[in-house]
Structure 1
């Protein structure tokens, strides 16, 4: 627990100092936050640094395909009711970025850490977490990430016998299968809008049956566990059956689901649902997501969606037609270079919205929209797309590097 004497060896202290110096130099050179390069240098000097930095913290790990940055932020806000928190709030979620974040705080009691799905097992080994939140698994970065079942298997093996309390989404069969190897699981009915990655049973390969909100495998009997927490409309139901209202500034059903999982995590640390949910109201935007910015006399709402599941959730929260929509897709290294996932998104949900398409892969997206029967314009850049739209609100939906490009352009 926090309050112990300084756990860092002389070597670890040198590693932390060197990492901070490199990060500062990177920032001064205008190359971003420097957290990743600083963390890499620090880990090179002391490969055990992440474990050393975590040993005085009560650690929560958060992993998922979608929603992990937002959920990490909501949990961090909730746990601040119980003590100081350190978190990788900007989403640098691989070991170097996580190490850098933890090195930046010496007085924290809690570490709330977002972890890339592929690194979860290793980071859990290093940080000895008290709690791990598992939200969802779906296809993402098709050229880089192995299929979702392989990720689930990686989680299942890595978390087998874990001492951590696992807070897991009972509505995602892949997450349930991954979490079921752990002895201590709290199930949350957080919902699952995107089901196309979970039609075959992860346990035996059989066909999943999905009556209503339930699911089960007709062949091996693998089935949805009974949740103790649930999202119910605008409320979180706790294990005692009490309903707590969710008041968020963040839009959409997906963020209510994130809040339900976050309340379950907060309760593991003794923070009551009412206190946790009240604190979550403070969060207005997360690393630029959901921000409304004034640009060229219009109000642009910036929305990040990286894969089919994310786009489906995002379409459900945009303002109704005829609100203009700008779509931007890149296919750089951080996005995944394979854009075939665009064919898995239901663009008929945009019917009635004027659509402008920008980004490196605007022509791929244009072909997809043409097939979906949507009316759209291909624009050279954001400025041109904004000029096509009348004054007022514009919904801007972009994948990962396209979102970063947009933020730079609008000065966010």
Structure 2
């Protein structure tokens, strides 16, 4: 922990004040939280502001294609056992949003920051994190985020020689390859349901062998490292072999994996697994995800799935048939405008569910479901889909901006 008790120069203080004013004006105008525009203004006035705000904090960065918002929340809850935490809990995960979040945490000891995969190396340079959590890499926003191998390369270069403790998923070959350039890695066996982005070796391009839960490259010898933490059913195994029960209100195996990684991060800061995992129980929903809401006298459960890996995990969460399912897909800039990823999702897993399709790209999705031999109805909007759905709780699965549209419509 470097620096004096007040690291902010007069210019930095002016930048923070101006950023907050612009954010407040944006909120008042009904344009969202204002954190991104406020952060942009603040960084224009002081380009070094992010580094200044971070220098008296113990910083944790969390990056991944899937699960980073939830894992950020879980780590933040766990670390509150050791002191006040500032976090970008609403998911504004590029430099402007991160700067806004840190500017609001004057009394914090820890900063737990979700970082967009493309920006990880730069944010790590600016914030000198004590710990970096890397969960997974899979295809997402194909027109913006580049190929997963390029992201892994970017991470690998950015982490080379880093002083940070890197907590990384031993089951994702791309993450292992990226993290292996760092001298201080804690490996977590968090599992990997989606494997289609890691069939070739990131080190040499050879074919990966995947016997059971293990993996290795038959050509160059690159292989799964031995984990010191592991997810085992409903328990986290710590480096001493003790099993700690996971009690979460969040559903699904993916969130247990997020909890296992979060417990490993908390331990870096001296928070024991039992305390960390008990605190994670407080998290009921994350930015509206997993919320059950009342709409038109029906219970709707809102689930976010923005890429093939996320859809695969989400299908494992939903209630069995004949539970009705509403699917909504947009392709705005925040989603990625390329919807070819729909063909990577196994929609046959929805067989037996009455399916209703909405969203900007409902016809793209309809063609995909037709090929997958699913019976479905295309609807104009959420209201119509809910009216047509048979009785019972409805599972609503949407990608990023479609999810935000849904939350606005149901008043969540």
Give the TM-score band, short-chain normalised: over 0.9
d(CA) in 1 for partners of 2:67, 2:153: 21
SS at match of 1:264: helix
d(CA) in 2 for partners of 1:100, 1:390: 44
d(CA) in 2 for partners of 1:127, 1:2: 11
How far off its partner does 1:3 sit?
Answer: 9.9
User: How big is each residue's C-alpha offset from its partner over 1:336-374, in whole Å with a ceiling of 9 and x where there is no partner?
Assistant: 000000000000100110000000000000000010011
User: How big is each residue's C-alpha offset from its partner over 1:72-123, in whole Å with a ceiling of 9 and x where there is no partner?
Assistant: 0000000000000000000000000000000011000000000000000000
What is the aligned length?
A: 412
How far off its partner does 1:390 sit?
Answer: 3.0
Asked if the contact 2:61–2:113 (Cα under 8 Å) also holds between the matched residues in 1, the reply is: yes
RMSD (Å) for aligned C-alpha atoms: 0.8
How far off its partner does 1:392 sit?
Answer: 2.6
Asked if the contact 1:74–1:259 (Cα under 8 Å) also holds between the matched residues in 2, the reply is: yes
CA distance change for structure 1 residues 238 and 162 in 2, over 3 Å: closer, same or farther? Answer: same
Asked if the contact 2:3–2:55 (Cα under 8 Å) also holds between the matched residues in 1, the reply is: no
d(CA) in 2 for partners of 1:399, 1:375: 21
How far off its partner does 1:389 sit?
Answer: 1.5
Asked if the contact 2:329–2:358 (Cα under 8 Å) also holds between the matched residues in 1, the reply is: yes
d(CA) in 1 for partners of 2:158, 2:220: 23
How far off its partner does 1:391 sit?
Answer: 3.6
d(CA) in 1 for partners of 2:390, 2:89: 35
d(CA) in 2 for partners of 1:390, 1:282: 33
d(CA) in 1 for partners of 2:42, 2:95: 11
Q: Following superposition, which runs of at least 4 residues in structure 1 exceed 2 angstroms of deviation?
A: 1-4
* Gapped regions of structure 1 (runs ≥ 5): none
Asked if the contact 1:208–1:215 (Cα under 8 Å) also holds between the matched residues in 2, the reply is: yes
User: How big is each residue's C-alpha offset from its partner over 1:150-193, in whole Å with a ceiling of 9 and x where there is no partner?
Assistant: 00000000000000000000000000000000000000000000
SS at match of 1:395: strand
Asked if the contact 2:324–2:392 (Cα under 8 Å) also holds between the matched residues in 1, the reply is: no
CA distance change for structure 1 residues 2 and 90 in 2, over 3 Å: closer, same or farther? Answer: farther
How far off its partner does 1:4 sit?
Answer: 4.4
Higher mean displacement: 385-394 or 301-310: 385-394
SS at match of 2:8: coil
Asked if the contact 1:2–1:109 (Cα under 8 Å) also holds between the matched residues in 2, the reply is: no
The alignment's TM-score, normalised by the length of structure 1, stands at 0.99
Asked if the contact 1:2–1:107 (Cα under 8 Å) also holds between the matched residues in 2, the reply is: no
d(CA) in 2 for partners of 1:3, 1:394: 53
How far off its partner does 1:144 sit?
Answer: 0.8
User: How big is each residue's C-alpha offset from its partner over 1:114-157, in whole Å with a ceiling of 9 and x where there is no partner?
Assistant: 00000000000000000000000000001111100000000000
Asked if the contact 2:149–2:174 (Cα under 8 Å) also holds between the matched residues in 1, the reply is: yes
Asked if the contact 2:216–2:224 (Cα under 8 Å) also holds between the matched residues in 1, the reply is: yes
Matched, 1:34 2:45: no
d(CA) in 2 for partners of 1:254, 1:149: 22
SS at match of 2:113: strand
Asked if the contact 2:5–2:56 (Cα under 8 Å) also holds between the matched residues in 1, the reply is: no
* Gapped regions of structure 2 (runs ≥ 5): none
CA distance change for structure 1 residues 245 and 3 in 2, over 3 Å: closer, same or farther? Answer: farther
Which residue pairs with 2:110 in the alignment?
Answer: 110
